Amino acid sequence: MTRPPVHVPVLLDEVMTYLAVRPGGTYIDGTTGLGGHSEAIAGAMGPEGRLLCLDRDADALAIARERLRPFGDRITLVHADFSELPDIAAAAGFTGVDGILLDLGVSSLQLDEAERGFAFGLEGPLDMRMDRRQALTAAEIVNTWAEPEIADVLRTYGEVRQARRIAAAVVRARPVRTTWDLARAIEQAAGGVRGYQKTHPATQVFLALRVRVNGELDRLHAVLPRARSLLAPGTPRRGRLVVISFHSLEDRAVKEFFRRESSDCLCPPRTPLCVCGHHATLSLLTKKGVRPSGDEVASNPRSRSATLRAAERVA
């Protein structure tokens, strides 16, 4: 018998604290994955609550559907990108919601299945698509894109220091069919794995390709203002947005959005009188990013790079 993969939800207690789920409330989980956070939200919202669950990955959603079956029609699952949220939420009758969760990045299902091609620890085809309906794969980038374009992807999305050198090695190694072909090419370009005791040189390259294949940063930039507009606007209830990110580019985007939206003025420093007309729409619930405890990292190493930020809508 095959057992469904286990995904331990990251920062679960913190998510529940910041979402402050109330009985009878309405919630959206934009990144349902295997349904760990959704299950906790559904349990807390009680029989009158409603939860809309989205994921780009049909396989993940099928597992979440089984897990969430006990909650019946209080849960609506949709195979979709979270950047389409306003339309999907409207169609499902979700407006003025009490809370939205975005737990970004990849799930254990994606990382642990060799055929998905996300992990260089497992040999598999260079796929990396969260949504397998999409055309672009990592194989297409490494085998058909020009060297400078590949270098640009590595620099922009993985902050890879030897981007040009690694891109050149990847192009020389064509055809690059599997995750291991790619990892070998990277190791050679980076001078082997010695000296990289903490992080394998392929880590940032795989991250960059994954982020580019799935358009992760563009989608994150698109969803943040849309999610904010879906929240209950302050009176009588303040809807809450909770975001967990896993790398610095994601966290920077979330932090910058929260900073802007919680500011009453965006005029340049030392402008004597405010002329921008901006006003705060969010109030920060976390002044600094919340990180997992040592115990959580020890029991779930995948949580180690997680940062949670939360805010509530005030206007």
Ligand X SMILES: C[S@@+](CC[C@H](N)C(=O)[O-])C[C@H]1O[C@@H](n2cnc3c(N)ncnc32)[C@H](O)[C@@H]1O
Which is closer to ligand X, CB of 83 or CB of 162?
Answer: 83
Kindly list the residues in this chain that would bind ligand X in the complex (CB under 6 A).
Answer: 7, 9, 30-31, 33-37, 54-57, 60, 81-83, 103, 105-107, 130, 219
Q: How far is the CB of 130 from ligand X (least distance, A)?
A: 4
CB of 256 to ligand X, least distance (A): 18
Distance of CA 4 to the CA centre of its chain: 21
Q: Which is nearer to ligand X, 75 or 167 (CB)?
A: 75
Q: Based on CB atoms, which residue is closest to ligand X, 201 or 309?
A: 309
Q: How far is the CB of 246 from ligand X (least distance, A)?
A: 8
The tokens of 24 are what? 């009878």
Smallest gap from Cβ 21 to ligand X, in A, equals 14
The residues with which 307 forms a beta bridge, in sequence order, are 245
Least separation in angstroms between residue 5's CB and ligand X is 10
If the CB atoms of residues 15 and 186 are measured against ligand X, the closer one turns out to be: 15
Minimum distance from CB of 159 to ligand X (Å)? Answer: 20
Q: Which residue is nearest to ligand X (CB)?
A: 33
Q: Is the Cβ of residue 222 or residue 267 nearer to ligand X in the bound state?
A: 222
Question: Which amino acid is located at 97 in the chain?
Answer: V
Strand pairing of 99-103 and 240-245? parallel
Contacts of 298 (CB under 8 A, 6+ apart): none
β-pair partners for 27: 51, 99
| Cβ(52)–Cβ(76) below 8 Å | yes
Give the separation between CA 283 and CA 264, rounded to whole angstroms: 11
Q: If 0-12 CB within 10 Å is exposed, 13-18 middle and 19+ buried, where does residue 129 land?
A: buried
Query: Which CB atom, from 83 or from 307, has the smaller least distance to ligand X?
Result: 83
Phi and psi, residue 84, nearest 5°: -90, 10
Angle (CA) 128 134 136, round 5°: 60
* Minimal distance, residue 149 CB to ligand X, in Å: 23
Of the pair 106, 142, the CB lying nearest ligand X is at 106
CA 65 – CA 54 distance, rounded (Å): 11
Gyration radius (Cα) of the chain, Å: 21
Q: Which residues pair with 176 in a beta bridge?
A: none
Per this entry, what is the length of the chain? 315
